[in-house]
Amino acid sequence: MALDVGVDIGGTYIKIGVVDGDGKVVARRRLKTAAKKGPAQALERVARTVATLGGKRRLRSVGVGIAGLVEHEHGVVRVPPNLPGWNGTAVKLVLAEKTGLPVQCTNDANAVCIGEWLYGAGRGCDDLFCLTLGTGVGGGAVSGGKLVLGANHAAGELGHTVIFGNGLPCRCGGRGCLERYVGAGYIVKRARSRVRVQVKQLASHREQLPMFKGMHIERPSVLSDLLGGRMTTEDIARAAKGGDRLALGLVEEVGEYLGLALVNVVALFDPERIVIGGGLAGFGEPLFRSVRQMVMRRIQPLTGRKLDIVPAELGNDAGIVGASRLGRVLPGFRAG
């Protein structure tokens, strides 16, 4: 049986997997990207790992998902946000020469979308939008059973859609982008700021306590214990699931911002299912509840509308599995 290889290139790690006909990863490796050392060394190590994983297996193709915009015909990556020096790299050509296999390349969010569409939470859908929440916000769309690329191969960039016309500045150079409000780093920064304000207010109330009999002091957020060290979105998720009011309010706010962007996705693409993955999907039900409430409150009422908003199913394998299917999807393959 012929097998395909999926490669997921990120700023810190490269994940490589051999995928069978049922979408199962049967062998895998993880490499450090060493992004600052440039693309040549990374792609050389990817090619060697593909050969090692291949062994006696019959490999049919290699698919690559990579953060950044991708020109699909030639597999050239443009402006990758976490891969300095990679702009303009012909990933498809380089890996094809080094592996001797057909190679296809796409944006990493598209790869996740394909994986979830064919084997995960998007199975059976002809109209699907999939987004990944993490350091940034990525998106991919399937419409009429086909992956949507766009005229410039830049479709699905949900993170840089605008939810506030004159909002906060984003690293892309714009203002009011969704990513500026729901990217992991921005969430942690907001959490730290709000915890500091809360601690200061509680300290002030404590000083006034002797003046008012019966006055009770609210307990500070459990996140206050992390002010002097490292705080992560996982910490915020745990606090929210434990009922911490400050953390829960922050997660619900993230859901509202995300819901605003998805209202526009529904209006533009009319998907029957929206799949949310990535690390921040770990915020769990408080996030999904907030997203659903915002979307359902703001979209146009339509009797019998088909629309589900669900968590992704494939976890860290989504990008590998989706990338492995690029040889079928990019030429116009229809699922089903």
Domain identity same for 97 and 19: yes
Within-domain flag for 293: yes
- Residues 164, 107, single domain; the answer is no
Same domain for 180 and 99, yes or no, is: no
- The answer to whether residues 170 and 288 belong to one domain is yes
Specify if 213 maps to a domain: no
Q: Are residues 182 and 80 in the same domain?
A: no
Query: Residue 72 pLDDT > 70, yes or no?
Result: yes
Are the C-beta atoms of residues 178 and 192 closer than 8 Å to each other?
A: no
DSSP 235-287: HHHHHHHTT-HHHHHHHHHHHHHHHHHHHHHHHHH--SEEEEESGGGGG-HHH
Residue 88 and residue 7 in one domain: yes
Same domain, yes or no: 170 and 266: yes
What distances in angstroms separate CA 92 from CA 99, 195, 303, one per listed residue?
A: 11, 47, 46
Q: Is residue 303 part of a domain?
A: yes
Please check whether residue 127 lies inside any domain of the structure: no
The length of the chain is 336
Structural domain contains residue 200: no
Residue 215 has pLDDT above 50, yes or no: no
- How many domains is the chain built from? 2
The residue segments making up the domain with residue 301 are 159-186+231-311
Instruction: Give residue 334's pLDDT band: very low, low, confident or very high (50, 70, 90).
Output: low
Angle, alpha carbons 231-236-242 (nearest 5°): 135
For 135-187, the pLDDT digits (tens) are 889 999 999 999 999 999 989 999 999 999 999 999 888 999 999 999 999 99
CATH code, 58: 3.30.420.40
Same structural domain, 16 and 62: yes
Confidence of residue 123 (pLDDT cuts 50, 70, 90): very high
Indicate the average pLDDT of the chain: 92
In a domain, 46, yes or no: yes
- Domain contains 192: no
Question: Could you tell me if 42 and 111 lie in one domain?
Answer: yes
pLDDT, tens only, 109-118 = 999 999 999 9
- Which among 8, 3, 79, 81 has a CA at the least distance from the CA of 42? 8
Q: Are residue 29 and residue 165 in the same domain, yes or no?
A: no
Contact 20, 26 (CB under 8 A): yes
In a shared domain, residues 83 and 165? no
Residue at 166 is within a domain? yes
> Residue 78: pLDDT above 90?
yes
Tell whether 7 and 43 lie within a shared domain. yes
pLDDT score of 172:
85
